[in-house]
Amino acid sequence: MRPSDPLVELRNITKTYAGPMSRFKRRTLRAVDGISLTIRQGETLGLVGESGCGKSTTGQISARLIAPSGGRLIYRGEDITDAGDGARSRALRRRIQYVFQDPYASLNPRFTIGRLLGEPLAIHRMAGRKERHARVAEMLETIGLDASHARRYPHELSGGQRQRIGIARALILNPEFVVLDEPVSALDVSVQAQILNLLRKLQRDFALTYLFISHDLNVIYYMSDRVAVMYLGKIVETADVDTLYSRPLHPYTQALMSFVPSDDLRPKREKIILRGDLPNPLDIPAGCPFQTRCAHVHGRCLAEAPELKEAGPGHSVSCHLYS
């Protein structure tokens, strides 16, 4: 891999699910509809969108928890889409990790914390028992918990502590690339700040690359270098974070950004209130997916789906207004 190559690349990834039958026709759910992303080493790419936009699915595909229906997944210049389940897959699992949103459900309730953290090492046969113990103790300290927590069970810890364990478990194999799926959404604001600080510190200390998925615009701004906005399975805009938040081009992004509070916590005066609802992912209309709510919709939008095109340096947008 050349230094200028991206670490992770998604090329035209799609994921479809068979939906319920409707009048003798099986509708398909296009959770992810042809998205392409690049993530450079050491950066944090924020992926933002509302429910049903497919960001979680994208995250799980990037971390190889789900197989895509189409498209290629490239890691360090190598195509890993069909890595399967064998030795090559296991090697990849050491490099690419995933942190779940729900700190309650993602830890086996029957395991002690020590066992939960040591498990990745055991599965990959990377350390004997004594060494595992030492690594676990070291990791607990790194995430700000006491080594005595190794003897406790998940239900004895608070939400914030559980999330730290989830993060620690992902990091104990020394991965390069970590997908974080709404890691702070389930937490109170004061605990959220602790976790965000921890994530930034770990990124610096361990030279990690993050794909950070969230619906919270403030958190995305704080954590990301670049941001991609998703709507109904498609990427509608990508840019570096300052440009996206100050000069959004896509009407959807503009609406989202109008809700970001300024520093005195009051939203900016000119809030853009979209009309209509989030459309059903089973019934995505032909043409641009945003047509049902866009204030600038015109004829071409109904007929033709726009492509993601570059509108400025490092700034791409998928909208007929700009092509």
Q: Contacting another protein (CB under 8 A), which of 1, 67, 134, 260?
A: 260
Which range in 30-38, 115-123, 133-141, 306-314 contacts another protein by CB under 8 A? 115-123
DSSP 3-state of 230? strand
Residue 245 interacts with another protein (CB under 8 A): yes or no: yes
Residue 215 interacts with another protein (CB under 8 A): yes or no: yes
Residue 200 interacts with another protein (CB under 8 A): yes or no: yes
Nearer to another protein, 2 or 204 (CB): 204
Nearer to another protein, 163 or 307 (CB): 163
Amino acid in the structure at residue 87: A
Contacts of 272 (CB under 8 A, 6+ apart): 254, 255, 258, 295
Task: Centre a 10 Å sphere on the Cβ of residue 200 and count the other Cβ atoms it contains.
Answer: 14
How far is residue 264's CA from residue 231's CA, in Å, rounded to a whole number?
29
Strand partners, 212: 46, 180
DSSP 3-state of 131? helix
Least Cα distance to 15 among 33, 28, 27 occurs for 33
Nearer to another protein, 4 or 51 (CB): 51
How far is residue 17's CA from residue 28's CA, in Å, rounded to a whole number?
6
Which range in 31-39, 117-125, 129-137, 145-153 contacts another protein by CB under 8 A? 117-125
Residues forming the site for another protein (CB under 8 A): 50-51, 63-65, 85, 89-90, 93-94, 97-98, 100, 102, 105-111, 119-120, 123-124, 158, 160, 166, 169, 173, 188-194, 196-197, 200-201, 215, 217-219, 221-223, 245, 255-256, 259-267, 271, 273-274, 277-278, 280
